[in-house]
A and B are shown apart, each in its own frame.
Chain A
Amino acid sequence: MIEVKNLYKSFNGKPVLKGISAVFETGKTNMIIGRSGSGKTVFLKTMLGLIKPDKGIISFDGRIWDQLSLDEQRQIRKEVGVVFQGNALFDSMTIEENIKFPMRMFTNLSPTEKKARVNEVLAQVNLEGVNDKYPAEISGGMQKRVALARAIVLYPKYLFCDEPNSGLDPKTAIIIDNLIHDLTIRYNTTTVINTHDMNSIMEIGEKIILLKDGHKQWEGDKSQIFFTDNPDLNDFVFSSSLFRKVKELVQKEGKF
């Protein structure tokens, strides 16, 4: 479980996060949603320790980040898997080398064991036989799977995904969503996903937090989205006529 309390962050005097508090539960796909510029990425990067907050507490299963020694923080980092928006695969390395990288840095596994683990995680993301290719030689959807494979290779306790569907076609996006959901259950991770993709929210949003102008505006799950009267959430989620129609139908039936 990741707990965030009263998180503040400003850049050059301009506040971006204004006292956000949230709990991200273990074994669930927790989603942070909001418009572009709402502070989602800063929030995620602050939780990852890439941006230092001005004020506030971030704790990983009770371990408060700011109160930990550098070694203890490094230990938590080894428990974290991240899928970046642009995948962040090392383009000078093959797919196999990319996935092996965290194992080479932080484990003493033998080459055979590392190879076996690479093949295992590639199978889990339904991507086999690409070991010797370079990231530039595979499609965007495949790169996303490789990024996921690299993120889970050390059996993470916490999985962060920043806009995992950006740049993907709707079908591939749903496949990636379901993969993230399956991996969350398989590894019992605390998964935090940054997204503004409505299909993702409806597909795997077990816990949803809406950010607006650096504030948390709403919190709930995907079934509650249809029955809330929060104007900010309705404005964001039901901005398209398709989703407004879906909402009408769901409200008529009384359940999602």
Chain B
Amino acid sequence: MYLETIGKFALMLKEVFKRPQKPKIFWENYFKEVDDLGIKSIGLVSFISFFIGGVVTIQTARNLNNPLIDKMYIGYATIKSIVLEFSPTFISIILAGIVGSYIASTIGTMRITEQIDALDVMGVNSLNYLVLPKVVAAVTFYPFLITISMFLGVFGGWVVGDLTGMVLSHDYLKGIRYTFDSFDIWYALIKTVVFAFFIATIPSYYGYYVKGGSLEVGRAATQAVIWTSVNIIIFNYILTQLLLS
């Protein structure tokens, strides 16, 4: 059954990655999807990142409460946690919930209300028309979104550390620059691109092939979020093994 699903998913991708029938309409849809899938998520991602950054700083400070350990390591641990794991992986899982359910339910509703049939009988490649702009929008915009998340997470840690007096600004700033490796950023962005691909394609698959009524659309949205999250977690491990070991 899983093999059948993977095969069907691969056939779907074959149709998705065809040349758009009207490039002008593709770009219009692309910018609409950037707005729907990306820009509308900036607020929530920023809010979560800032406060998680603060929480990571507080927890690290509590666990490094030893006079022999330099306080700069609080900043060091915060930036590593945020850049390597929190922003690319956990923000992607949050996006899988928000955006994944949105994609699966909108495409699923189009399916059960025959809007996709209408596209097909007009001679429009409905997969290419509906899914490709979403994939390109997610893959190109999410690295930018995750970069914002990384910056705000580290910034949140700085603000909270300073306000609570758990770490001085000077120490925190020294820590975040300590043995800074730009490959960490590349590693995070490579993961983000892969996760963005899953966030756009897996929910599209569940929405596109839904059968039945509104209940099935709801189930498809749930399945989409579950399987997108599962794939993110599995590929997080695979990519980490490949890129960092």
A residues near B (Cβ < 8 Å) are 45, 48-50, 73-75, 77-78, 80, 82, 84-86, 88-91, 101-102, 104-106, 160
CB distance from A210 to the nearest CB of B (A): 25
Count residues of chain B with CB under 8 A from any CB of chain A.
14
**Which residue of chain A is the closest to B118 with respect to CB atoms?**
A88
The one of B110, B117, B118, B123 in contact with A106, judged by C-beta atoms closer than 8 angstroms, is: B123
Whether B121 contacts A77 by the Cβ 8 Å rule is yes
Q: When A84-B114, A85-B114 are in contact, do A48 and B123 touch as well, CB less than 8 Å?
A: no
Whether A88 contacts B113 by the Cβ 8 Å rule is yes
Given contacts A74-B123, A91-B115, A102-B122, 15 further A-B contacts (CB under 8 A): A45-B117, A77-B122, A80-B121, A85-B114, A88-B114, A88-B118, A90-B110, A90-B115, A101-B122, A104-B22, A104-B25, A105-B21, A105-B22, A105-B25, A160-B121
CA distance A90 to B110 in the complex (A): 8
In the assembled complex, 5 residue pairs joining A and B whose CB atoms fall closer than 8 Å, in A order, are A77-B121, A78-B122, A80-B121, A88-B117, A105-B123
Whether B121 contacts A86 by the Cβ 8 Å rule is no
**Which residue of chain B is the closest to A74 with respect to CB atoms?**
B123
CA distance A52 to B115 in the complex (A): 19
Interface of B is mostly: helix
Q: When A77-B123, A106-B123 are in contact, do A84 and B117 touch as well, CB less than 8 Å?
A: yes
Whether B118 contacts A82 by the Cβ 8 Å rule is yes
CB distance from B41 to the nearest CB of A (A): 19
**Which residue of chain B is the closest to A160 with respect to CB atoms?**
B121
CA distance A84 to B118 in the complex (A): 8
CB distance from A27 to the nearest CB of B (A): 21
Most buried by A among B25, B114, B117, B122: B122
Q: Mark B118-144, 1 if CB is under 8 A from A, else 0.
A: 101111100000000000000000000
Q: Which of B1-52 contact A (CB under 8 A)?
A: 21-22, 25
- Top 8 nearest A-B pairs by Cβ distance? A77-B123, A88-B118, A88-B114, A74-B123, A84-B114, A82-B121, A88-B115, A48-B121
Whether A49 contacts B121 by the Cβ 8 Å rule is yes
Whether A50 contacts B117 by the Cβ 8 Å rule is yes
Whether A105 contacts B122 by the Cβ 8 Å rule is yes
The one of B25, B110, B121 in contact with A50, judged by C-beta atoms closer than 8 angstroms, is: B121
**Inter-chain contacts of A49 with B (CB < 8 A):** 120-121
**Which residue of chain B is the closest to A84 with respect to CB atoms?**
B114
CB distance from B210 to the nearest CB of A (A): 15
CA distance A102 to B21 in the complex (A): 12
Most buried by B among A48, A82, A88: A88
CB distance from A133 to the nearest CB of B (A): 18
CA distance A160 to B117 in the complex (A): 13
